[in-house]
Amino acid sequence: MKKAIIIGSGIAGLATSIRLALKGYKTNVFEINSYPGGKLSSFELDGYRFDAGPSLFTMPHFVTDLFELAGEDYKLHFNYRKKNIACNYFWSDGTKFSAYSKKSDFLEEIENTFGEPKKNVDNYLKQAKKKYDLTASLFLEQSLHKLETYLSSSTLKAMLQLPVFELHKTLHQANSKAFSSIKLIQLFDRYATYNGSDPYRTSGIMTLIQHLEGAYGTFVPEGGMVAITDALYNLALRSGVTFDFETPVDEIITHGNITKGVRVKDTFFDADFVVSNMDIYPTYKRLLPLQKQPEKKLSQERSSSAVIFYWGIKDSFNQLELHNIFFSDNYKKEFQAIFDQNNVSEDPTIYVNITSKDIKGDAPEGCENWFVMINTPADNGQDWELIVNRLRAFIISKLSKELGIDLEALIVCESLLTPSLIEKKTQSHMGALYGSSSNSPIAAFLRHPNFSNRLKNLYFCGGSVHPGGGIPLCLLSAKIVDELMPKT
């Protein structure tokens, strides 16, 4: 039986371990933390439960596909339900918009709130779907770094319709062309943040992200986002995967151009194949220090990061949903601060996630667990204590005014996550949430491939490599690795 070692048990590492075990590999996962999941973890504080990292769940079939691959009924191990309202949006002038999951309700609400004709929005969404349909098999489901990818009929079809992708426009320009409402443009510009990018720089092809959320919907897992980790970890165990926690890998061992295994302290573990689910930057810098470094890929602009406040709130609010956005008054200035000035603007957009709206027991009766996030630059040595203090005061002031409350008086417990802490906890270079940014029309081609060009039997999965960050793309990276690796 051939051996595979996976470094890291983030969501992509878990999915890869399942796929390889089912493929016939003896699969072992080494994890630096005492728990699986990486960013997709949770913690409790004074009777409140918080998902620590990713809070948006869409395209659940990428999770359930793994159970079907194992011949199991996912409903026996993992359950979720679709949200009627994907997100509530708030503007400082009192405008509120509820993004309904049902398309007809969504279009109706847009017309009523923003005065944008339903037909315009419907056409926009059809174009977004067309972009996705033309590119999914090329950009998301296959390696971009294999010649055979470009020799397929789907690639030829996509190349013949290049103008559809709006590569020459930014996402903001594409949205501005489609709509007259400034607020609706801002709402659709927000989807650039789904991969940590700037809507004023990232390509117009990114309108396809709106299609993904609109077509597939937004979901909430029973037990919270960490239930995804728990379900896949247990599936991996049932599939025969073994895990070594609190076991950091110190080096990937090679002989010539052949990958031979890994070193943990003074112990060598041999393997026929090694898959790194670790961020690509520390994979090379720490685990492959003697190998030629792909400096161009490692030096790419980082995606955005975040400051997150976890607050136990001794009250509940009917006007809030699972996902809530309080927009800034100057969106362009907000992204200029992040990507040009390595700072956070004076008026940043606030995201509030409240799982206790849907998951009983996540907060005491009559209370709520608030996950409050501000998009920030990656860690470049900023004074995060100073930034955090400023952000905390701003958030409390703004939300107190928006909701007509004294928010400070309602906070009964608090925890905090900053870009520097994100790097420390998850090994993500500079605390960037999505690896490199997508602020370029050719960003997809600049990401590191899912295999090594120099070292045989070395592969990569996770948000810092192709096809990108976020739960669905991380799960797709595992599928790509599976398809690249030989059968046993």
Residue by residue, pLDDT tens for the chain (488 residues) are 999 999 999 999 999 999 999 999 999 999 999 999 999 999 999 999 999 999 999 999 999 999 999 999 999 999 999 999 999 999 999 999 999 999 999 999 999 999 999 999 999 999 999 888 877 766 666 655 554 544 455 554 554 454 565 778 999 999 999 999 999 999 999 999 999 999 999 998 888 888 888 888 999 999 999 999 999 999 999 999 999 999 999 999 999 999 999 999 999 999 999 999 999 999 999 999 999 999 999 999 999 999 999 999 999 999 999 999 999 999 999 999 999 999 999 999 999 999 999 999 999 999 999 999 999 999 999 999 999 999 999 999 999 999 999 999 999 999 999 999 999 999 999 999 999 998 987 776 788 999 999 999 999 999 999 998 999 999 999 999 999 999 88
Q: What is the pLDDT of residue 210?
A: 85
Asked whether residue 172 falls in the same domain as residue 109, the answer is: yes
In order, the DSSP letters of 269-310 are EE-SEEEE-S-HHHIIIII-TTSPP-HHHHTSPB--EEEEEE
The residue among 176, 210, 244 that closes a domain is 210
Token output for 420: 């520097």
| 310 inside domain | no
Range of the domain at 441: 3-40+226-300+436-484
Residues 201 and 150 grouped into a single domain: yes
The secondary structure element, H or E, covering residue 157 is helix 153-159
Distance CA 284, CA 202 (A): 27
How many distinct structural domains can be found in the chain?
Answer: 2
Residues 153 and 237 in one domain: no
Give the C-alpha separation, 60 to 237, whole Å. 21
Looking at the structure, do residues 204 and 258 belong to the same domain, yes or no?
no
Is residue 47 one of the residues assigned to a domain? no
* Residue 199 sits in the same domain as residue 234: no
**Residue 321 domain-assigned?**
no
Same domain for 279 and 249: yes
204 and 118 housed in the same domain: yes
Report angle CA 362, 365, 371 to the nearest 5 degrees: 40
**Residue 52 corresponds to which tokens in the numbers above?**
């620590």
* 323 vs 392: CA distance, rounded Å: 19
Place of tokens 């944008």: 116
* pTM more than 0.75: yes
Res 444: pLDDT? 63
DSSP secondary structure code for residue 163 in this structure: G
Question: Is residue 382 included in any domain, yes or no?
Answer: no
Say if residues 10 and 37 touch (Cβ distance below 8 Å).
yes
Q: What pLDDT score was predicted for residue 151?
A: 47
Same domain, 243 and 151: no
| Tokens 């609010």, residue located | 317
By CB atoms closer than 10 A (0-12, 13-18, 19+), residue 360 is exposed
Whether 196 and 233 share a structural domain? no
CATH of the domain at 28: 3.50.50.60
Q: What is the DSSP letter of 261?
A: E
Say how far apart CA 134 and CA 131 lie, in whole Å. Answer: 5
The domain that holds 119 is classified in CATH as 1.10.405
Asked whether residue 315 is domain-assigned, the answer is: no
Residue 448, domain member (yes or no): yes
In a domain, 23, yes or no: yes
Q: Are residues 146 and 231 in the same domain?
A: no
Residue that terminates a domain, selected from 185, 210, 235: 210
Using the 3D structure, point to which of 210, 235, 263 is the last residue of a domain.
210
Q: Report phi then psi at 96, rounded to 5.
A: -130, 140
